[in-house]
Chains A and B, each alone.
Chain A
């Protein structure tokens, strides 16, 4: 992953940017892809959470999950969030966003 502040310390990110990441993501455990896969990114009082554990911003796109798991949100050319990349033992793990229901 690239682009965080390098120190691993948290930074302030505007709520409207954080809100772009709110949604449902299709997380498949590589070891057991049959586990129900939907993970939720939510926002409460201006802070992001993944599955109920806090996401601490390291940059506008990079976060520390519950103080230890690193992940980075990725956008397409139109600025829509397409997935996040989690640092995993076997390498980076791509977790796709599930399109919002209209």
Chain B
């Protein structure tokens, strides 16, 4: 997204928060390319024959987003972080509706990386990762948010720090430790 548009997004978010419907519509034209990019990134990690298409994911995410009329958007990074969370939830809901559940045994997950093409490669892994993230959120909301923004939202360390209001070092350390914990958790050997 061009730098000029970044301040536009923040201004429009504030306007939308105060009830400006025109701001919401203007926001859509600016953020659509970003939502489309996010959706394509998600779908690349999914099965080639996934029954949910990229366009449908973008539209569903937007519909859910505009329902959040009372959201207090702090900044652009916060907004796109929430977009990422919504998209992940749509995919998880879709996977669960298709009957995917975390099996009793270990998940073969080899890496969690912000540029990962390996995982979550399948809906079952996505469900397992969602389960693990929900458990992590009960331990540390911030660590869960860091994974969400970095892995699912594709935000940089700096953008994640801005969205969460923490230092860059905190994001890096949370990201490093939590990735390892999630992999262990998804292997099924962490205590519950």
Q: Identify the A interface with B (CB < 8 A).
A: 29, 31-32, 35-40, 50-53, 65-70, 86-89
B191 and A36 contacting across the interface, CB-CB below 8 Å = yes
What is the interface of chain A mostly: helix, strand, loop, or mixed? strand
Q: How far does the alpha carbon of A31 sit from the alpha carbon of B111 in the complex, in Å? A: 25
B59 within 8 A of A: no
Chain A residues with CB under 8 A of B139: 29, 31-32, 35
Closest chain-A Cβ to B143's Cβ sits at a distance in Å of: 8
A50 and B184 contacting across the interface, CB-CB below 8 Å = yes
What is the interface of chain B mostly: helix, strand, loop, or mixed? helix
Most B CB atoms within 10 A — which of A37, A52, A68?
A68
Closest chain-B Cβ to A86's Cβ sits at a distance in Å of: 7
Q: Identify the B interface with A (CB < 8 A).
A: 106, 111, 138-140, 142-143, 169-170, 173-177, 179-181, 183-185, 187-192
Most A CB atoms within 10 A — which of B111, B142, B169, B179?
B179
Contact among A38, A65, A69 for B191, CB-based, below 8 A: A38
Q: Known: A32-B139, A89-B173, A89-B174. Is A68-B190 also a contact (CB below 8 A)?
A: no
Q: How far does the alpha carbon of A36 sit from the alpha carbon of B185 in the complex, in Å? A: 13
Q: Known: A29-B140, A32-B140, A67-B111. Is A52-B179 also a contact (CB below 8 A)?
A: no
Q: How far does the alpha carbon of A63 sit from the alpha carbon of B175 in the complex, in Å? A: 17
A-B contact sample (6 more), CB < 8 A, given A39-B190, A51-B189: A31-B143, A38-B191, A66-B179, A67-B111, A69-B180, A87-B176
